[in-house]
């Protein structure tokens, strides 16, 4: 993606920031003189990589919500629970705060992050929107909250570790736990692959 860099920025002066040690060095060096990492004015193929990871996360999100996240075995009978099913069960037992936490962390947060990063990629590729500060804040929020989406996986892991009732009750994680963990990891990688500096590069296009 070609763009004219805004005047006064490091990129306009031909300087690149190392992603490892954050040292500024001439981009013509191609390698950081301090740590030896590759130097780029912008992350290579940032939008393409982010979109590919978002598509992968969206595909994983389907089995994460359809398949059971845990299976409870009691007295020979098995009960499968999905994420939404667990939230409904908690509401039925009037555990509203826990239900709200799981619903927000396991449903709203992943969906919000997918939509936020998708909109950022679209707005940058289409040069749409001039709210650079708001989009930067949106990116920072998506990057921050994404790692707190593992609530259901943590709950299942804790239950598996704590429940020991002599074989009367047994809890095993389901396939959805693996898929949901994949969603969280892939969306975190998508947030890391997106280069928020592309948002501000549009200023160069507007000035021109």
**Where are the domains positioned within the chain?**
1-41, 45-207
DSSP 27: G
What is the model's pTM?
0.75
SS3 content of the chain, % helix, strand, coil (to 5): 60, 10, 30
pLDDT per residue as tens digits for the range 185-196 = 899 899 888 988
Element (H, E) at 26: strand 24-26
Both tokens of residue 129?
Answer: 């929107």
> What pLDDT shows up at residue 208?
43
Question: pLDDT digits over 30-56, tens only?
Answer: 788 888 877 777 778 889 999 999 999
**Confidence check: pLDDT of 163 > 60:** no
Which of 1.20.140, 1.10.10, 1.20.120, 1.10.405 would CATH assign to domain 45-207?
1.20.140
CA separation for the pair 47, 39 (Å, rounded): 18
β-partners of residue 78 are: 73
Q: In the numeric block, which tokens belong to residue 66?
A: 């359809």
């Amino acid at each position: 993606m070609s763009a004219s860099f805004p005047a006064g920025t490091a990129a306009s002066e031909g300087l690149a920031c190392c992603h490892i040690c954050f040292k500024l060095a001439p981009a013509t060096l191609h390698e950081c003189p301090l740590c030896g990492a590759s130097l780029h004015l912008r992350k290579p193929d940032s939008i393409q990589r982010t979109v590919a990871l978002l598509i992968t996360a969206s595909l994983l999100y389907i089995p994460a919500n359809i398949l059971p996240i845990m299976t409870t075995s009691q007295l020979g009978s098995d009960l499968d629970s999905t994420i939404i099913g667990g939230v409904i069960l908690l509401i039925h037992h009037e555990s509203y705060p826990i239900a709200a936490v799981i619903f927000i962390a396991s449903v709203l947060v992943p969906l919000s992050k997918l939509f936020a990063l998708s909109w950022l990629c679209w707005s940058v590729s289409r040069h749409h929107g001039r709210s650079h500060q708001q989009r930067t804040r949106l990116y920072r929020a998506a990057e921050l909250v994404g790692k707190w989406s593992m609530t259901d996986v943590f709950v299942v892991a804790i239950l598996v570790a704590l429940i020991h009732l002599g074989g009367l009750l047994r809890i095993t994680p389901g396939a959805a736990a693996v898929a949901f963990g994949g969603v969280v990891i892939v969306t975190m990688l998508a947030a890391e692959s997106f280069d928020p500096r592309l948002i501000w590069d549009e200023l160069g296009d507007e000035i021109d």
